[in-house]
Structure formats: structure tokens, C-alpha cells
Amino acid sequence: MDNIKVLMVDDESRMRKLVSDFLTRKGYIVIEAGDGEEALDRFYADKDISLVILDVMMPNMNGWDTLKAIRKNEKTKHLPVIMLTAVNEDQKMVTGLKIGADDYIVKPFVLPNLLARMEAVLRRSIRQKEISQDVIQSQVPIDLLTLKEKEVLQMVAKGESNKQIADKMFVKEVTVKTHLNSIFKKLKVANRTQAVLLAMQADLVKN
């Protein structure tokens, strides 16, 4: 995975350099930070960071508080985060996972293991984005319609003609046709039947 930016956060400069040098050789771009506060500054200054490696025990702001800050931000709440800890305690790992960590690695660790965990987390993140995009694209765009257009579509679903709709809305038939053309365009359909089917899927009308 080339040119992916990783934020490496650890108060031990030796650990940062070790991980940074290894990941750089593997094609990653690594940004370093010595504590949580510095991490957030770096993080918000660079919008292209794809993954955070975050040590738990650090001065100024520890890893858990940093993770909470990341998860509270709407733009970064889904960013993959791998926690590093020198303490192999199940309860602390559970706490981190509940806060929102995607994975946990206990120090000391071998670098290939870190890389494998990173790649697994990144794959999950990419897949989740694809699923989210599919959901967005599959959603019925009924919300694009104006209140008037929804009203027209509801009457169409009842089988009413353009003239009947025009009479009820106290407008001319040409106005109803204009509304229908706008509805077809927004819903990307070709006729009244297709529009009604989409309206039924969105629970705008009942079958």
C-alpha cells in the first residue's frame, strides 16, 4: 500500500524512528508525534492521514484521551486507530476497544506483525467505505423532491389524472406536467409507474 499516510504517536523517540523507518521502506508516508496534543495538531493540519498508530501511556495527553478526541470529530470518527501498550491487561484492551480502537498491539512486538495488523485494518476501512457508498447510492432520493412534488406523487399513486391533480391543487395541467417532469428527473425514472414504485420503497405512499 504505497503513499498511504500514517500518524505514528509515541513519546519514545526510538520507537517512533524504528516504526517510521520500517514503514517508510514499505512505501508508507509516516508523520510522527510525541504525545496526544502534538498528534491532534498534526492530525488536523493534514487531512490525508489514513491510519493512526497510538501509544497509550504518554505525557500531556494519553492515548485514550487522544482516541476519544478523534472519535468525537465528525470528519475523523471512522479513521482506523491501532493502540500500542506495554501492559498486557485484558481489561485495558477492552476499555480501548470500547472507546473506539480498531486493534491493539502489546509491546514489544515484531514489525512485520504491526504491518500485517495495519494492512488488515486498512482493508476493513476501505471495505466499510465501499459499503457506505453503496448504501448511499442505493437510497431512494425522495428527499430531493419538494413538498409540492411529493404531494403530486402521492396523488399519482392514487391513480389520479393530471387534470384531477390540477383541479385539487388549483393549478393548470401544464403545471402538473412540470412537476412530474421534475419528479422523473430527480428520481431518474421514465414514467409514473416507476416513480410510484420508488415512492412506495421510501414509504412516501402505501401499497
Domain ranges within the chain, ordered by starting residue:
5-138, 141-201
Question: What is the predicted pLDDT for the residue at 152?
Answer: 93
Whole-prediction pTM value? 0.64
Which CATH code for domain 5-138? 3.40.50.2300
Q: Work out the mean pLDDT of the chain and round it to a whole number.
A: 86
> For the sheet containing 49-55, what is the strand order?
29-33, 5-9, 49-55, 81-85, 103-106
d(CA 19, CA 115): 10
| Residue 143: other Cβ atoms inside 10 A | 10
Least reliable range by pLDDT among 1-5, 60-64, 108-112, 193-197: 1-5
Residue 179: its H or E element: helix 173-187
Per-residue confidence band for 76, with pLDDT thresholds at 50, 70 and 90: confident
* 145 has pLDDT over 60: yes
Specify the amino acid at residue 122: L
Give DSSP secondary structure letters for 4-61. Answer: -EEEEE-S-HHHHHHHHHHHHHTT-EEEEESSHHHHHHHHHH-TTEEEEEEESS-SSS
pLDDT one-digit tens code per residue, 79-116: 999 999 887 766 677 777 888 898 889 888 999 999 99
Contact 103, 82 (CB under 8 A): yes
- CATH fold of 141-201 reads Arc Repressor Mutant, subunit A (1.10.10)
* 176 has pLDDT over 90: yes
Least reliable range by pLDDT among 128-142, 143-157, 190-204: 128-142
Per-residue confidence band for 201, with pLDDT thresholds at 50, 70 and 90: confident
* 9 has pLDDT over 90: yes
Per-residue confidence band for 133, with pLDDT thresholds at 50, 70 and 90: low
- If one compares 185 and 2, the residue with the highest pLDDT of the two is 185
